[in-house]
């Protein structure tokens, strides 16, 4: 399968600061990337869908000003959690797919802890 | 909004037992994927099914896609502790995946 790399694997930040998470497709052109949030022992909750070169489409209830998504190239998308608060602590996962692909491939996830 | 209902939500069995996990929807999907996720990691793709009635086998795992492409099942034979994890089904249309809530499987030695 295709390789998607997510960085960092874990991050601890102070309340009020911003954190950037990167998602890279290493061996294919990711025309579409997805960002998910996952709480312990629960499934993935889609936050937003981003197409390369376009503004991200956010799911209902997700604050676009708080979770900034950039997909400026076919191999990189970033999620920036702005003015992070403890309730933003979670496991964030990206996935990527490309033209002609049925499946999406996932990054390893990022454990964000806001203290 | 497309929804996928996955059952059971939790399953705890002994090593050597068989089990089946179900994924149902009222919507038709162009493809359906099964993923397995271990704690602290991203989901790993197990299989993709695209044709109604399709059956795929992956060692002790058997995946079936319903004739109407609205449902799927995952059957594990002779489960092993290494099969422990969160099993997720996902339906795809236009590259957007809709995930079920997952089945958390624990196989006890």
Identify the closest residue of chain A to B50 by CA–CA distance.
A102
pLDDT by residue for chain B (109 residues), tens digit each?
568 899 999 999 999 999 999 999 988 888 899 999 998 899 999 999 999 999 999 999 999 999 999 999 999 999 999 999 999 999 876 666 778 889 999 999 9
Provide the pLDDT for residue B2: 63
Nearest-Cα residue of chain B relative to residue A90:
B40
Q: Are residues A75 and A25 in contact, defined by beta-carbon separation less than 8 angstroms?
A: yes
Q: State the pairing for strand pair A57-58/A44-51.
A: antiparallel
For the beta carbon of residue B55, count every other beta carbon within 10 angstroms.
Answer: 12
pLDDT tens-place string over residues A61-96: 999 999 999 998 899 999 999 999 999 999 999 999
Q: What does the block give as tokens for A22?
A: 């990167």
Residue position matching structure tokens 């705890």: B12
- Terminal CA-CA length for chain A: 36
Give the closest of A6, A104, A111 to B97, CB-based.
A104
Residue B19: exposed, middle, or buried by beta-carbon count in 10 A (0-12, 13-18, 19+)?
middle
Q: What is the dihedral angle through the alpha carbons of B103, B43, B79, B100, rounded to the nearest 10 degrees? A: 20
């Amino acid at each position: 399968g295709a390789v998607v790399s997510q960085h960092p694997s874990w991050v601890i930040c102070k309340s009020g600061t911003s954190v950037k998470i990167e998602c890279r497709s290493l061996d294919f052109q990711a025309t579409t990337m997805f960002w998910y949030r996952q709480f312990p022992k629960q499934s993935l909750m889609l936050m937003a869908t981003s197409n390369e070169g376009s503004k991200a489409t956010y799911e209902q209830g997700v604050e676009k000003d708080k979770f900034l998504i950039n997909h400026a190239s076919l191999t990189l998308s970033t999620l920036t959690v702005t003015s992070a608060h403890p309730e933003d602590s979670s496991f964030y996962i990206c996935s990527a797919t490309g033209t002609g692909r049925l499946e999406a491939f996932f990054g390893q996830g990022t454990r964000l802890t806001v203290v | 909004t497309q929804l996928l209902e996955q059952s059971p939500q939790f399953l705890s069995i002994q090593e050597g037992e068989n089990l089946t996990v179900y994924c149902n929807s009222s919507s038709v999907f162009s493809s359906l994927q099964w993923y397995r996720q271990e704690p602290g990691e991203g989901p790993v793709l197990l299989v993709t099914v695209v044709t109604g009635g399709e059956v795929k086998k992956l060692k002790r795992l058997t995946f079936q896609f319903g004739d109407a492409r609205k449902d799927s099942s995952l059957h594990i034979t002779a489960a092993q502790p290494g099969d422990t994890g969160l099993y997720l089904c996902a339906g795809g249309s236009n590259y957007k995946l809709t995930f079920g809530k997952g089945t958390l499987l624990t196989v006890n030695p």
